[in-house]
Chains A and B, each alone.
Chain A
Amino acid sequence: MPIRPLTFRRYLLAITGWAAVWLVVSAAAVVLGAENIWAWPSWESARTVLGLRLYAVLTASAVGAALALAGLAFQALLRNPLADPFILGVSGGASLGVVLSSLFLSVLAAPLFGFVGALLTVGVVYAVAQRRGRLEPYTLLLSGVIINAFYGAAIMLVTALIDPESRGDVAYWMMGCISTFGARWWLVGVVGGLVVAAAVLFAFLAKGFNLVAVGEDTAGALGVPVDRLRLVTFVAASLVTGASVALAGPIGFVGLICPHLLRMVLGPDHRRLVPATVFLGASLLVVADLATRLLMGLGGQAPPVGVLTAMAGGPFFIYLLRTRWRRKTEIR
């Protein structure tokens, strides 16, 4: 498929198209669910359920878009196709922050501590994996593995020390779930707002992403302030990751799958990828959440959505490892 030049009109058209996909998926996820409410005699009850579903759809959209955007940004700036907030340990850092703040401070502080955890982790990953100003892809992934293991241990320590009644809650939350339980509309608003802000920011930085992808030296030579771009992007990606983890726990692989699917269709231009990633990330998680609700309706029990995304994402990661990564490292 030949890629035609990107005009403003085509840009708007593309955004509208991706938004339409998300809207259709969301509408389906409100109409369908664990119970067939359309056969109910009482409209009152049906309206209650519609409210629950709307909350789930908005939560899944905000979280999915946040993780996909963060994944896209990490992949661009770390120049590593396997980067993703979950794999790099950024979600893990956010989780530790959220768990600590929810248990010992207040739930209100959770997004803030999630952000701090995420940002600290990005800093550590970057410092560890960097060698003479260059990021080694192997080292980057390995440091992610180690950091994830460390956070896993820290959260297990916290779980072992708290009272047994809360253990189940923490363990369940760590699987990553879109819960309509104890609705927190304000937090959905916060995550949604941050996602929109980050999407606009990344849309303006997209050209810089493209040049960095070619090479940091080249980008610098062409006038891109690489250091500042990196700082701003990492802070923004950490913000949305931290807030989304506070809302739904660590949901993995959305940030990995989504940008890659889009690159296969749209090519490597980040000006096209940024808006598409927002809506596809949102749609993917809405679909995954709908799947869990349908399963619940069928069997009475359903896995948390994080389990579904990890089960789908694991094989996808291996596929990328066998194909894309080899090509990428050969170029270097």
Chain B
Amino acid sequence: MHTQLNTLEFTLVVALGSFVAGMLGSLTGLGGGVVIVPLLTLVFGVDIRYAIGASLVSVIATSSGAAAAYLREGYSNMRVGMFLEIATTVGAVSGAFLAGYLHTSIIAIVFGVVLLYSAYASTQTLADPPAGMAPDRIATMLRLDGSYPTADGMKSYHVRHVPLGFGLMYVAGVLSGLLGIGSGAVKVLAMDQAMKIPFKVSTTTSNFMIGVTAAASAGIYLRRGYIDPGLAMPVMLGVLGGALVGAKILPGAKVRTLRIVFGVVIAALAIEMIFQGVRGKL
């Protein structure tokens, strides 16, 4: 978009785009944050640093806004969340620190690669880990094991591979701080794949963690002057509104088709980000 819009026009168009992103993100469970940065940089020509700042703010909004619904279900494991939050917040601080030194083209390329991975990960169906595994020494020491309600009553689970999960969570934090995203895909990788936490527990715990991680990065971005109120305003309100509407219409929605369409859109945006990054245009 190369015509110069005035502030009112720009704000309305960005709010509309963010609304659609928030709604699709909530309907597909991929989060609206992943497409905000490509939308702002590729479509609206916004500098990637401002785009990341605005995206972080919208990530916090959707995470905290959805918490009420998630917490009512009572699946989240606060000990796992808080323990891993050490890794993600330290990671977020490192990522936000890196963002100040890396060239914006490199950030764009990394963004594209992570986006591609997220699109791929969303097509994978995850199976819950087999029951009846022996307890893990470190997990027992840290009291990470828990239980969650199922159709057949409370089911307990053992947490595995704590150091690997902790390390992956650090990576998730770095990516969140560097790219302004929730890193939901990497968090699921750490909790489901590495630590063998049941899917329902890991999704709800990850929702809580996404907000805390994004808050750690957002603090640094704010202090650095990367969060512009005029830009963050329509993005935050748009994504939040879209996510709320998405959650309302979710029960009757044809999610399968939507997921595929959104996945293709994400992949296309990812390739464009990498391409523009390599050309040094972002």
A binds B: no
Binding site for B on A (CB under 8 A): none
Binding site for A on B (CB under 8 A): none
